[in-house]
Amino acid sequence: MATPASQQRTRLTDLATQAGVSTATVSRVLNGKPGVSPAARQAVLEALDLLGYERPERLRMRSQGLVGLVVPELTNPVFPLFAQVVESILAENGYTPLLCAQEAGGTTEDQYVEVLLDHKVDGIVFISGLHADTTADLARYHALRSQNIPLVLVNGHAEEIDAPSISCDDVAALDLAFRHLVQLGHRRIGLAIGPDRFTPTQRKVRGFLDAYARHLGEGEAEDHVVTTLFTVEGGQVAAAELIESGHTAIICGSDLMALGAVRAARQRGLSVPDDISVVGYDDSPLIAFTDPPLTTVRQPVRSMSQSAVSALISQIAGQPAPRSEMLFLPELVVRGSTSVAPSS
Amino acid sequence: MATPASQQRTRLTDLATQAGVSTATVSRVLNGKPGVSPAARQAVLEALDLLGYERPERLRMRSQGLVGLVVPELTNPVFPLFAQVVESILAENGYTPLLCAQEAGGTTEDQYVEVLLDHKVDGIVFISGLHADTTADLARYHALRSQNIPLVLVNGHAEEIDAPSISCDDVAALDLAFRHLVQLGHRRIGLAIGPDRFTPTQRKVRGFLDAYARHLGEGEAEDHVVTTLFTVEGGQVAAAELIESGHTAIICGSDLMALGAVRAARQRGLSVPDDISVVGYDDSPLIAFTDPPLTTVRQPVRSMSQSAVSALISQIAGQPAPRSEMLFLPELVVRGSTSVAPSS
């Protein structure tokens, strides 16, 4: 179908504006001409997609192969975020990502892995998978490695598995959150966290206990840790218990738990942050729009994903990948859910 | 590894509480004994997953086959929601879902479909795919049908494609939102919407114009429609324009746009809902936690997903699937972003 010249011009202009390049560059990319930097080419592709135009046939690349990406669920918005970022980096590298998202009662990690193997994936990235569960049998991962399947493990280091491992530094995260609350004058600080058989939970608890000892002296720090589930309801239950026992500040194991903690405070007629300060974990998408906007510890999702994909691609290329865990530093994003401790 | 009897008991009790069944039922399910209803069995499986226990080997089913699930992106939280619900229903029916999530500059719908075909999927569910883009070439879908691949199209009916089609009733949605605002006394009502080449956009615009004529009489209803993108930034730009031209209420094409509209109002020192009322669309997860909690039109995601999977499975079984579009009625969820029109 021929496009009138005027429409063609509008489209070039739109694309150039969106991509931040000249119309000449857009035209070169669309016509497959040389002399365009990879960054400009990628910007034009993104602009085509963002504005919803179809890519011309000649801009399509043949996939280098399949990579499985296993995430535990999509309810916590940090997992769709990881999925989207890892997928786009895989695609930039010519791999087609297949996202395996679990849900309670649905397809399990093992079932997904079986399917991925049946379909000869080139490698698998596990995000918060069973490798993070200290009670899970690691034989499943040893079996994959003995078949020479390249793996990368994100957020849940298991020393025994022969694979690169990438995590957000949970101990550092807890120290960031704790220090922020102490500086605001809080002394009754609690931790609301999910099941303790997961490595990230154990590390966050350790970080909390370390920070407690460092900032508030010895004491019975364990009394300030309440273990429930990593959900809104889990946060609500844990926070209720911490508020009842006189805490003025609650650090949560996930942003969802933090939203539950805000709800628990309000149910008791308390204000966040005037009466109770709440810190989340993840900095999930949209969390800046909550009431109040959540102070939270941001996982560096993009750099973690970049390293995960690099480590996987090295292995696929037959190069050795680092075996020691790569720890990524989180940052504290201060918004409206934390404030100075109430003077009691 | 043997588990001590006391731990075993705790686990049975936990599972029974979570699943809402007796410990005897949990035990029957875990040991593969008969005499348990499918619903109770599913509840126990979900409890195992929710509490993070591994499923015993004997509870694993062999997959019946693969189904591709193509979504346009994961940034708008309604897409992870659709993905999660469709996946769990597929899994309950024995199918393994492979989620193909696009991102600007990443793997395209056509590339995903190629991979799915290479891997002999049993069928494909397209959610807001190119079928919803009136400028896209439908030959790609005709080609799939001529290869006898069962398809289901969600939210973007294209009469010409030989496949069942399932949509949220956009015209009804706009009437719900419009009527709510008129009842609150608003007369200057605008629509902030994404690109108009998509069927759902065209239908929402039609719904808006119909509602305008019905509730406010003829006039230049088109002047109250601003077209940008379905993103936070898109909503912000469109809302700024509508606010400048004196509107007191803005209906948005997505919840993300609505968050942008709230931001645009606040940038002008206006309050939502005291000065400007905002209605979203989708009722995405977490949207109830925003500031203010968003009044929005909820897509019936679960029943739409249920019908999509049924229609796909019928086709896989060689039964004819309905060819007429199934329209699902949305509902208006009134929260804190709408209020009575300001007296000018």
Interface contact B91-A114, CB threshold 8 A = no
Q: What is the pLDDT of residue B58?
A: 62
Q: Residue A261 has which token pair?
A: 């903690």
Window A:172-231, CB contacts with B under 8 Å: 195, 197-198, 229
B65-168+300-328 and B170-298 share one fold:
yes
Interface contact A97-B107, CB threshold 8 A = yes
Residue B118's CB is within 10 A of a number of other CB atoms, namely: 12
pLDDT at B63 over 70: no
CATH superfamily entry for domain A4-59:
lambda repressor-like DNA-binding domains (1.10.260.40)
Q: Which pLDDT band holds residue A1 (cuts at 50, 70, 90)?
A: very low
Bridge partners (DSSP) listed for residue B332? B297
Residue A132's CB is within 10 A of a number of other CB atoms, namely: 24
pLDDT at B2 over 50: no
Domain assignments of chain A as residue spans, ordered by start:
4-59, 65-168+300-328, 170-298
Tell whether A160 lies on the interface with B, counting CB pairs under 8 A: no
Pairwise CA distance, residues A244 & A265, whole Å: 10
Tell whether A110 lies on the interface with B, counting CB pairs under 8 A: yes
Q: What is the pLDDT of residue A9?
A: 65
CATH superfamily entry for domain A65-168+300-328:
Response regulator (3.40.50.2300)
Bridge partners (DSSP) listed for residue A65? A95
Contacts of A79 in chain B (CB under 8 A): 80
Residue B146's CB is within 10 A of a number of other CB atoms, namely: 9
Question: pLDDT tens digit string along B183-203?
Answer: 999 999 999 999 999 999 999
Pairwise CA distance, residues B143 & B157, whole Å: 17
Q: Which pLDDT band holds residue A306 (cuts at 50, 70, 90)?
A: very high
Q: Which among A46, A81, A103, A199 is the top mutation candidate for probing chain B, defined by the most B β-carbons within 10 Å of its own β-carbon? A: A103
Contacts of B119 in chain A (CB under 8 A): 119
Residue A289's CB is within 10 A of a number of other CB atoms, namely: 22
Q: Report pTM.
A: 0.84
CATH match of B170-298 with 3.40.50.2300: yes
Task: Identify the H or E element spanning A83.
Answer: helix A78-92
Cβ density class A15-43: b for 16+ within 10 Å, e for less: bbebbebebebbbbbbeeeeebeeebbbb
Pairwise CA distance, residues A80 & A301, whole Å: 11
Nearest CA-CA distance, residue A343 and chain B, Å:
27
Would you say A116 and A110 are in contact if contact means Cβ atoms under 8 Å apart?
A: no
Question: pLDDT tens digit string along B257-282?
Answer: 999 999 999 999 999 999 999 999 99
Of A105, A112, A285, the CB nearest to B46: A105
Contacts of B264 in chain A (CB under 8 A): none
Would you say B29 and B41 are in contact if contact means Cβ atoms under 8 Å apart?
A: yes
Interface contact A130-B45, CB threshold 8 A = no
Q: Which residue has the higher pLDDT, A234 or A27?
A: A234
Tell whether A102 lies on the interface with B, counting CB pairs under 8 A: yes
Would you say A258 and A297 are in contact if contact means Cβ atoms under 8 Å apart?
A: no
Cβ density class A75-98: b for 16+ within 10 Å, e for less: bbbbbbbbbbbbbbbbbeeebbbb
Residue partners of B51: CB distance under 8 A and separation at least 6: A195, A229, B14, B15, B18
Of A63, A130, A136, the CB nearest to B111: A63
